[in-house]
Amino acid sequence: MRLWRWRHNPLKRHSDVVEAWLVLVTWVLALLGGVIAGVVAAQATDSAFAARRAQVYAVSAVPTDDAAKAPPGGSGYDDGRVWAAVRWTDADGKVHTGQVKIFPGSSAGSRVTVWTDGIGRVVSPPPSGTGATLQVVLTGSLVAPPAGATVWAGGWLIRARLLRRRLAEWDEEWEQVGPEWRKRSGGRG
């Protein structure tokens, strides 16, 4: 019954065939559009992560003081690290200082890794490994459905306009045929 528009039928109109093709094309384009948009978004995110990795540098730093002990009863949203002052020397021999999060109990003079940008500011580490892969996959997965839904909504709007047009055609035809039916049925209606 779902494929009735494709079968031969003497009552089938041209608009039925157009609607059937429109539904088929809309679903195909919605699926393809969603997949393509998801892949493009994932590739763009991956490229952005690669560019970020190329712009930041891991350097070895030393805490200037012993790190504080972990605060009691953490919120559960952090990894237990505490803020501490660190010092490092860049490739040009210039000494820098900054605040970074390190694990509690780290002693002054121990080695920690910090990430810096091209001018020596402390920055967050770039996404890499499983974390980056997860973000890339999630980005693609979150972009695909709205992109497909947008294409589907466009097809739905076109289909709604076709339906209004078909109903208007039926009204015109009924205006022509209706009086004949009234005559045959005895004038009622």
Give residue limits of the domains in the chain: 14-51+132-184, 57-125
Predicted local distance difference test score (pLDDT) of residue 52: 92
Q: What pLDDT, in 10s, does the model give residues 116-125?
A: 988 888 898 8
More confident residue, 130 or 69: 130
DSSP 1-40: -TTTTTS--TT--HHHHHHHHHHHHHHHHHHHHHHHHHHH
| 3-state secondary structure string across 72-94 | CCCCCCCCCCEEEEEEEECCCCC
Q: Which residues contact 184 (CB under 8 A, 6 or more apart)?
A: none
For residue 63, the SS3 value is: strand
Q: What pLDDT, in 10s, does the model give residues 26-44?
A: 999 999 999 999 999 999 9
* 97 DSSP β-pair partners: 87
Across 75-89, 99-113, 141-155, least confident range: 75-89
C-beta of residue 33 within 8 angstroms of C-beta of residue 144: no
Predicted local distance difference test score (pLDDT) of residue 71: 60
The pTM assigned to this predicted structure is 0.69
Q: What is the CA radius of gyration of the chain?
A: 33
Distance from chain centroid for Cα 131: 16
Q: Which residues contact 159 (CB under 8 A, 6 or more apart)?
A: 19, 22, 23, 26
Q: What pLDDT, in 10s, does the model give residues 53-105?
A: 999 999 999 988 876 665 655 555 567 778 888 999 888 888 888 888 888 87
